[in-house]
Chains A and B, each alone.
Chain A
C-alpha cells in the first residue's frame, strides 16, 4: 500500500496524518489487547482497541493509524 518513491501512503490519494483516512473496520476476532479487524476490501489488520473499551466480533470501529478511536452504532 505504501509507495515509498513518492511518499504517498494508502495507495491512492489520501493522507494518513489527516482524519480523512480514519476508516471503518469490522472486528473479526480478539487478540489480547488488540483485535483482528477486516476492511471492506477483505484485508485484515491488527488494531489496538484499548481506547474504545471491550469489543466483540462484528463490532464496527473507526480506526486511525491502527488504533480504534470509536465504536460505531
Chain B
C-alpha cells in the first residue's frame, strides 16, 4: 500500500476488522493505549473504534505535546514577552490558545505583547535575522518529532552568529512518559500502539524494554485509519500467540535505528533536564530537554528572568485523568459545556490531537457508527 486512498479503503478496513474479530478471545477485555495524539485524532476522525469488537478498548495516552504543557510554562513565556519591549515571542499556532494562569498567548497579545505564529523554528530564526533591533524567542514544544527542527535551527543560529535569537525549550521525550503511565496504579494495559513519527527519529529499539520487562506488545503505527487498524490486528495476533514484541507496522517510514543524524543534532544542542513537570502526570525525571552548555547563549531561561511559578490546574479540569487514559473525555464534568474548543479550560481541548478536542469534533459521529470516511 503506497497511496493515501489505499490506507482509507473501506473494504480493506472490513477485512482487517474480520481478522481482528477472528483472533480476539471473547472472554477477554483488551485495553490498548495509543501513545500519540495523532493516533487519537485518526481514531476519532475515521471512526476506527467502530471496526473493532466491543472487547477492544482504545485508551488515549499522553502523546499530545500541547496537552502536557503545565500552565506555569505558559506564564513564564508570557512574563518574558511582556517584560521585554524588544521581544518577539514566536510559537506554533496550536499554542496560542493554551490557557495559563495569566491567560493565553492570545490574551497576552491583546494586552500588547508581540507574539507571532510560525510554522517552523527556522521561520523564527529568519525573523531574528530580519529584525536585528529586536529579540526573537522561539517557544519550543513537542516530542522527538519536533526536537530535530529546533536542533537544526540552533545549529544554524550558532553558525550564522545570530545573537538576537533564543529558545524557550519545552521539548519532552516519549519513553519516560510511557514509563510513568506504566507506573500508574490506576491503569492496566494490554499493549501499546507506538508513535509513528517520533519513531522516525528515535527508531524502534528504545521500546524493547516494554516487551522484555513489561511483557507488553507494542506496534509502531502510521496515521491513516488502516495503519491503526492493522496495528490493532498485529497486537491481537501477538496476544493470541502469547508473544510480546516490538513490531513496526509503519516500515514504509520508520527504520529500526531511527534517524541517527537527527539524534546527533539533538544530542549536540540539547541535554536531559533532571526533571520536568507534565500536566496531569506530575514531575517526571529525565523526561524533557534543555539547551546544552554549548548552546547556552541561545537559552532563554539563562538570558531572561523566568518566574518559574507552579500554577495549579483549574479545579474543574480533569485533563490529568484523560491524559493517563483513566477517564474518557466525555466523562469529564465540564466536557462540552464549560469546556469547548472555543473556551478551553484544559489543554486536551486546545490541540486537535488532544483527546477532548478530537472527541468533541469527531467522536459523536464515531459513536453513531459512521462508515469509514473515504477521501474523494
Total count of chain A residues near the partner, CB < 8 A = 32
State the CA gap A7–B262 with chains docked (Å).
Answer: 28
Q: Is the CB of A66 within 8 A of B119?
A: yes
Task: Enumerate B60-80 residues with CB–CB distance to A below 8 Å.
Answer: 63-66
Q: How far is the CA of A69 from the CA of B195 in the complex (A)?
A: 15
A18-B353, A19-B143 known; A65 and B119 CB under 8 Å?
Answer: yes
Which residues from A are CB-within-8-Å of B262? Answer: 51, 69
A69 touches B200 (CB 8 A): yes
Contact status A69-B141, CB under 8 Å: no
Q: Is B145 an interface residue (CB 8 A)?
A: yes
Of residues 19 through 68 on chain A, the ones whose CB sits less than 8 Å from some CB of chain B are 19-22, 48, 50-53, 62, 64-67
A20 and B92 within 8 A (CB): no
B152 close to A (CB within 8 Å): yes
A72 partner, pick from B123, B148, B253, beta carbons under 8 A: B253
Among A19, A48, A70, which residue has its beta carbon within 8 angstroms of that of B152?
A: A48
The segment out of B12-20, B34-42, B182-190 that lies at the interface is B34-42
Interface residue B351 (Cβ < 8 Å from any Cβ of A): yes
Task: Write the nearest CB–CB distance from B293 to chain A, whole angstroms.
Answer: 22
B306 within 8 A of A: no
Residue with the highest number of chain B CB atoms closer than 10 Å, among A3, A4, A18, A65? A18
Interface positions of B from 91 to 147, Cβ below 8 Å from A: 92-97, 104-106, 117, 119-123, 141-143, 145-146
CA distance A70 to B255 in the complex (A): 9
A2–B200 alpha-carbon span in the complex (Å): 26
Q: Is B93 a contact of A2 with CB atoms below 8 Å? A: yes
Do B148 and A17 touch (CB < 8 A)? no
Whether A69 and B148, one on each chain, are in contact in the complex, defined by CB atoms closer than 8 angstroms, is yes
Contacts A9-B119, A52-B259, A70-B253; A19 near B195 (Cβ below 8 A): yes
- In the assembled complex, the Cα of A39 lies from the Cα of B141 at a distance in Å of 25
Pick the contact of B351: A4, A18, A19 (CB < 8 A): A18
Chain A residues with Cβ below 8 Å from B149 are: 48, 64-67
Instruction: Decide: A17 near B36, CB < 8 A? Known: A50-B152, A52-B261.
Output: no
A67 neighbours in B (Cβ, 8 Å): 120, 122, 148-149, 152
Q: Using Cβ atoms and an 8 Å threshold, which residues of chain B touch A7?
A: 93-97, 104-106, 117, 350
Instruction: Tell me whether B94 and A17 are in contact (CB under 8 A).
Output: yes
New A-B pairs, 16, CB < 8 Å, besides A48-B149, A65-B146: A3-B93, A6-B96, A7-B117, A9-B92, A13-B361, A14-B353, A15-B37, A17-B65, A17-B146, A19-B38, A19-B198, A22-B200, A53-B261, A66-B149, A67-B148, A69-B259
